[in-house]
Amino acid sequence: MSSSDLTPFPRLVGAVGLLMLVASCTVKPLNATKSATSISDDGTSRSVAVVMKTITVNPVDERVAQQVRNNLMFELNGGQLEPGGNLGLSLKVVTGSRSLAIENNSLSPTSAQIAVTVTYNLIDATTRKSVSSGTRRAVASYDKTPQKFANERAQRDAENRAAKDAARQIRLAIGQSLAKH
């Protein structure tokens, strides 16, 4: 049986089915301003991007936590907090490190990892209810050398990279939660 022996009906059904499948696939950006991604806040409809610009990130007291906070504020609103928001974000940051490789002849570590774990809670100030919460973890590696200052600087740079990555993860998680809200 050759393909010319087939009736055009099965091919037509297959083509229509394929078109329906492709037409049903839609992807929309998280920060879209269309009404499909808008959320209701006190009777007004605002996009997720607009609501995220009004989130206040509460102060923190450690260097790595401050890096997470600064990066998150930039991710949320470019560092310019918009007025009119009633959402507050609290952060709890835990940093850990571990050595990855040991040099055989001197038994000194040659590389290490920094892990930054951030627990966040987004709270509606008017209702005092949690809108979104969770934990995100970011890891950054760095090389160790015999120089003490170089090691300290490399560790700090790794902490900063991990803090930036954690802030991006939190921004995405908050955006997804607000889009569902």
Of 172 and 3, the structure prediction assigns the larger pLDDT to 172
Q: Is residue 1 part of a domain?
A: no
Q: Is residue 140 part of a domain?
A: yes
Q: To the nearest 10°, the Cα dihedral for 139, 81, 178, 47?
A: -130
Helix (H, G, I), strand (E, B) or coil at 59: coil
What proportion of the chain, given as a percentage, has pLDDT over 90? 41
Q: Is residue 158 part of a domain?
A: yes
Q: Is residue 174 part of a domain?
A: yes
Of 45 and 105, the structure prediction assigns the larger pLDDT to 105
Residues 6+ apart with CB under 8 A from 70: none
Tokens of 166: 């954690």
CATH of the domain at 78: 3.30.160.150
Domain count of the fold of the chain:
1
Q: Is residue 111 part of a domain?
A: yes
The whole domain housing 176 covers: 7-180
Q: What number is the average pLDDT over the span 9-30? A: 69
Q: Is residue 40 part of a domain?
A: yes
Write down the pLDDT at residue 70: 94
Question: What digits encode the pLDDT tens for the residues 30-81?
Answer: 555 444 444 444 444 568 888 888 898 999 999 999 999 999 999 988 878 7
Q: What number is the average pLDDT over the span 140-156? A: 90
Q: Is residue 2 part of a domain?
A: no
Q: Is residue 134 part of a domain?
A: yes
Beta strands in 54-175 (DSSP E): 56-57, 87-102, 109-124, 130-143
Distance CA 51, CA 82 (A): 9
